[in-house]
Homo-oligomer: A and B are copies of this chain.
Amino acid sequence: MVIVMSPDADPSDIEAVVTLAEAAGCEAFVSRGFARTVIGVVGDLERLGPQRLRGMRGVSEVAQVSAPYKLVSAEHHPARSVVEVSGVPIGPDTFTLIAGPCAVETPEQTLHAARLAKTAGATLLRGGAYKPRTSPYTFQGLGEQGLKILADVRAETGLPIVTEVVDPRDVDLAAHYADMLQIGARNMQNFTLLHAVGETTRPVLLKRGMSATIEEWLLAAEHIAQRGNLNIVLCERGIRTFEKTTRNTLDISAVPVAHALSHLPVIVDPSHASGRRDLVVPLARAAIAAGADGLIIDIHPDPAYALCDGAQALTHQDIQQLAQAVADLARVMGRRIPEAVANELTPA
């Protein structure tokens, strides 16, 4: 059972629900989102009595959820969620562009990329300090030094930071520097890492595993939510198939499917999905048109020299094209984009 608290519920209202559930021998999981708190209850729900809960102060909805994921389920959920990252909303009314280098390499490269990101209309900066790499002989990221560079670039540009964590021992450190924590595709079922980010108050960007079903992806989100953190943004980044012209196969259907099953925002990563610069803009367009709430894009001031995934990074000449595509299509889809961006572009 899921109890959705109203936006104006106060901590004592939440406490009262938890106390009642536990008194009935149930287990209660409080998950806090940007605008509202959701409480999942498992155990003898008959004995607990949903009717009693409906009358309690601060309780907005009480719903039985048949899906295996509860807190993140869309079943009986009144509205799609907005996740806010240091003031930048990701949700149903807006369209949010996250851009930046795959890996933080130097202060200059990162700052340059951040400025390019801004010209593309990005309002969040991505950049990896901890890089999970298939081979142990390739660049593994700068670690804390990379986080510091990101923080400096944020100070310079005003862009909040999204960065990946790969080890539960680094989560506190990363949460100290970053505005949003990313769980990469390879770690989508690294449950202790999910629990660690679930215990922070930072919003989480949860990439879909490369062979994860949508149900498994939502259950991974549930692992985070169950630990208290409902500020989760789902990110489709391509699944593994037999097709060889693209690095992965972007599962564009995952956008409307995840929207139908969950109240969480869903964004798309066309850079990692395709692995090819020439496909990023067409796939970005497709993602917006399919209803995505945002995009995350690799950009690099000098892709030929990138230490990681240069073949998919957009650079100067492509970025205006991306910005225009976002502006044109987001408008058709009825979504707001930042005014500063809109003003610089030609109308569709």
Whether a CB of chain B sits under 8 angstroms from the CB of A328 is yes
Tell me if A321 counts as interface (CB < 8 A to partner B): no
Enumerate chain B residues within 8 angstroms of A288, measured Cβ to Cβ.
289
Q: Is the pair A242, B242 in contact by a Cβ cutoff of 8 Å? A: yes
Q: A168-B168, A169-B169, A348-B332 are in contact. Are A256 and B279 (CB under 8 A)?
A: yes
Residue in B69, B168, B211, B255 whose beta carbon sits within 8 Å of that of A282 in the complex: B255
What is the distance, in angstroms, from A323's C-beta to the closest C-beta of chain B? 14
Q: Which residue of chain B has the shortest Cβ distance to A224 in the bound complex? A: B136
A178 smallest CB distance to B (angstroms)? 18
How many chain A residues touch B (CB < 8 A): the figure is 70
In the bound complex, CA of A264 to CA of B248 (Å): 24
Binary interface profile of A, 272-293, with partner B (CB < 8 Å = 1, else 0)? 0110001100110111111100
Contact code string A171-199 (vs B, CB < 8 Å = 1, else 0): 00000000000000011011111000000
Interface residues of A (CB under 8 A from B): 42, 68-70, 132-137, 140, 166-169, 186-187, 189-193, 209-211, 213-216, 219, 222-223, 226, 239-246, 249-257, 260-261, 273-274, 278-279, 282-283, 285-291, 328-329, 331-332, 348
